Chains A and B, each alone.
Chain A
Amino acid sequence: MKHQIRKNLLAALLVPLILTLSCTSISLDSSSLSSLVTHAGPLLASAAKVADAANKANEQFTPRQEYYIGRAVAADITSMYKVEPIGPATLYLNALVQVLAAASTMPVTYGGYHVLILDTNQINALSAPGGFIFVTRGLLECTRDETSLAAVLAHEIGHIENRHGLDAIKQERRNQVFVVLGKEVVKNLGNQQLEQLTDTFGKSITDVITTMVNDGYSREQEKQADLSAVSILRKAGYNPRGLIEMLKIMEVRLKPDSGGFAKTHPSPADRIETLAPEIGTKATYEEPAAWTARFHKYMDSLLKTP
């Protein structure tokens, strides 16, 4: 009986603690938790395992490292395409992306979310780790209102929050970095280390670009980004059917040999079918007149639509 009372007391003390910790997105010091758990029993052990796994995954690339990878990928993208000069449409997209990012599971990144428009008729969008988003004029022409435009950005935020870009970096690169530096205290990089790390960095960027531009993400990753987009749109206050609207227009405009989305994404019809259990297949929705007016105010000069 006494034993039972003690167990209950311990549980009464520990359960609120676990709840408190699990309700914050602050990463915990896994070693502190582990040492606590050694004495505290199975209840905390499972909480610590979750914290441990999250920490290990996060330690692979911190937000700051993700930012430097993203900057290099973004630099490559801007060297491949002509960039639209920063005007009303770009400024509007940069405001809209803040509204949407706030509704994502990654509301802040080290350097924040930023959008540029690529001046090409090709239908495509690319997102580099850490929040760098690129949308082509061709893809923007597949949007009719703010809701469908939000769907385009929400899909790209979906790739970023799921860290699909980083997934493309081969394990051997990650191992290579560790081989170069080992576990020693490193205060200053020697020339050889600097060269080796720069080489690994360059190869990592190539991994990301190759996947993003040439091979495309996997079908599963595209589905994940679409489902993230649905969640982001809902939480932000947009009708997720804007995604269906955009995909239906894209389906009409996309030519199989046109590169871009056609090469690296499942067909719009397949994507609509995948989304059907979540939001149906109809593109019917209404958005407030003020949103449509805002869309036209900032986008018309770029899209030249009547």
Chain B
Amino acid sequence: MNKRQLWFLIVLLLGVSGLVAAPLRVQVQDVALRAKPSYLGTVLTQLPYGSRVQLVQSQGAWTKVTAGDISGWLPSASVSQAEVEMNIGSEGATTSSNENALAGKGFTEQIEQNYQKERHIDYTWVNRMEKIQPPETILESFVKDGPRGAFQ
């Protein structure tokens, strides 16, 4: 292996390590950071949309991350290595080309508000639906009696 090829490999490996260790962003409204890779794992903290976390390891449907000084597990589908779009004009919005492409799709809270106002659409039941929280007693019965599939 000549010098040039050796340098290429070094640069390649550095690039690769940077890619794998790149920060991730939470791409769902909010997600529980759990102590173990299970939906029944203790909730360490809630992370809102757009939160930046660092990848530690991936284990199928679960990803271990650090958020500040807390380390825990998130469902892999709840994080993305791509920039997530913020509200157009919001302070948190960046101007990365990726974000512009996403913001450019345009179906955001601002559009929903205008749509509701112009068409007199009633979102009462939708808002109520989103707030439904099954009581602990029902969830505990699934833990106790099963089924013992992916949820456990």
Contacts and interface: CB of A to CB of B under 8 A. Distances in A.
B91 to A, nearest CB: 11
Contacts of B31: 108
Interface stretch (A176-184, A244-252, A262-270, A273-281): A176-184
Interface of B: prevailing SS = mixed
Interface string A190-203: 00001101101110
A99 B147 contact: yes
Contacts of B118: 198
A198 B115 contact: yes
Interface residues of B, number: 79
B100 A235 contact: no
A237 B31 CA distance: 24
A294 B141 contact: yes
Given A59-B101, A79-B122, A197-B107, 13 more contacts: A29-B19, A55-B82, A64-B27, A64-B84, A74-B129, A75-B126, A91-B132, A98-B134, A107-B75, A186-B88, A189-B89, A235-B149, A291-B147
Interface of A: 2, 6, 9-10, 13, 17, 20-21, 23-29, 32-33, 36, 39-40, 55, 58-65, 67-69, 71-72, 74-76, 78-79, 83, 86, 90-92, 94-96, 98-99, 102-103, 106-112, 114-116, 132, 177-178, 180-189, 194-195, 197-198, 200-202, 204, 234-238, 288, 290-291, 294, 298
20 contacts: A21-B20, A36-B19, A55-B82, A59-B105, A62-B27, A62-B105, A65-B107, A72-B115, A78-B124, A91-B134, A91-B135, A95-B138, A98-B151, A103-B150, A103-B151, A110-B29, A185-B95, A189-B110, A236-B147, A288-B145
